Amino acid sequence: MQTSFLGDVVLTTPLLAELAARGPVDVVVTPAAAPLLATHPDVRTVFTYDKKGHPFAPATLWRLARSIRLAQARAGDPGSPIAYLAQGSVRSALLALLVGCHERIGFATSGGRYLYTRRVPYRENAHHAARLLSLAEAPRSTGSADELSASSSGPRVLLYPAPSDVAAVDALLGRAGAAGSPLIAIAPGSVWGTKRWPHYPALAAALARDGRIVLVGSAADTEIARQVAAAVGAGRAIDATGQLTLLGSAELIRRAAVLITNDSAPQHLASAMGTPTVTLFGPTVPGFGFGPLAPRHAIAEVTNLPCRPCDRHGPRRCPLGHWRCMRDLSVEHVAALVRQVTAPTVSVPL
């Protein structure tokens, strides 16, 4: 059960892979996140739980639990399913009880922990993908504390765009006359206001000579994408915001030479597709466990501010009014990191 943000769902895929090696895996996610796992080979069935409205209403939980039980009965599943509570609210634990899960495994710090049969330590110094993988009793991917730390590489996350997503990206790039062109992807949006770096227009203008700028995000990011595109010049940027599915956006990011993004969902899409990534951290820090996992990545942050981090997610406004954590990140510094992660690797002959 993973009804958290989109990025959390992506970071749950190593756990899904581990559990799929043991038996069929069904998942419960929000309607917004369901498309991410619709084509995932480690997932048998995706059930959606809409937390908006009246999610605690007994009828809401009962109907979902009943649909899960019926589906598993039709599949001939023996015995009682095991619930892995990747999202640890009380309502998720209640849903697991209603489904009939005699084993309920979750983090010892979760709100629903008193309803669990096994509580797993929440490792603050680990990447969240590694934390989630630790919910499995015997994870196949193990490593030292350094290998699984919040700021270094963690388990490999994977997504699987459908042929329709590939075709949609082909069509989008074809209309823009960019088929085969080098692409630089920028994801300037975030639902958290203080996570949005204000200098994306200037960065896009500086990088436009190195490839076609392509803007990634949801329809909510269209206005900021227009501002970035305007700085590049008419017809020189491709605005894909709101035009693709989540997996379509992942496919578009896969084709890019690099993604520059805030600490938000596109970063995790890039990790799943192996695209070099530069992530800008402002009110949050990589130490929370949500940094990039792409093989080549860099982090841009202002490290000498005593007020960082100020929030687990990112407040709507800077509590101190100066927003230096983002304003002080220079275009020159971010551009240098972009060129660093996209520089060709040199093989040294033995």
* Confidence (pLDDT) at 142: 42
Q: Are 275 and 185 in contact (CB under 8 A)?
A: yes
Give the global pTM: 0.92
**Pairwise CA distance, residues 268 & 340, whole Å:** 20
Q: So what's the pLDDT on residue 48?
A: 95
DSSP structural state of residue 301: -
Q: What is the pLDDT of residue 25?
A: 97
Q: What are 125-147's pLDDT values in tens digits?
A: 999 999 999 999 754 444 443 44
CATH of domain 163-341: 3.40.50.2000
The per-residue pLDDT for range 101-112, each reduced to its tens digit, is: 999 999 999 999
For residue 172, give the amino acid letter. Answer: L
Average pLDDT, the chain: 91
**What pLDDT shows up at residue 143?**
44
Q: Domain extents for the chain?
A: 6-133, 163-341
Angle among Cα 99, 1, 134 to the nearest 5 degrees reads 120
pLDDT of residue 313: 86
**3-class state of residue 131 by DSSP:** helix
Nearby residues of 297 by Cβ (< 8 Å), 6 or more positions away:
271, 276, 277, 278, 279, 291, 341
Going by C-alpha positions, the residue among 86, 125, 93, 92 that lies closest to residue 107 is 86
The token pair that represents 225 in the structure block: 């994408």
The pLDDT, as a whole number, for residue 137 is 73
Among 73, 52, 81, 44, CA closest to 60 = 52
| Per-residue model confidence (pLDDT) at position 204 | 97
Q: What is the pLDDT of residues 180-238, one digit of tens each?
A: 889 999 999 998 889 999 999 999 999 999 999 999 999 999 999 999 999 998 788 99
* b/e map 55-83, b = 16+ CB within 10 Å: eeeeebbeebbeebeeebeeeeeeeebbb
Cβ neighbour number for residue 102 with a 10 Å cutoff: 12
Half-sphere exposure of 289 (CA within 13 A, CB side): 19
Q: What's residue 130's pLDDT?
A: 96
Q: Do 6-133 and 163-341 come out as alike in CATH topology?
A: yes
Q: Is the peptide bond before 292 cis (omega within 30 degrees of 0)?
A: no
In the chain, which residues have pLDDT < 70?
Answer: 53-56, 138-154, 346-350
Domain 6-133: state its class. Answer: alpha beta
Q: Which two tokens stand for residue 236?
A: 């020189």
Q: Hunting for tokens 């917004």 — which residue is that?
A: 32
Q: What is the pLDDT at residue 207?
A: 96
Looking at 33-120, list the stretches that DSSP marks H as alpha helix, in order from N- to C-terminal side: 34-37, 58-74, 90-99
- Residue identified by tokens 């130490």 is 287
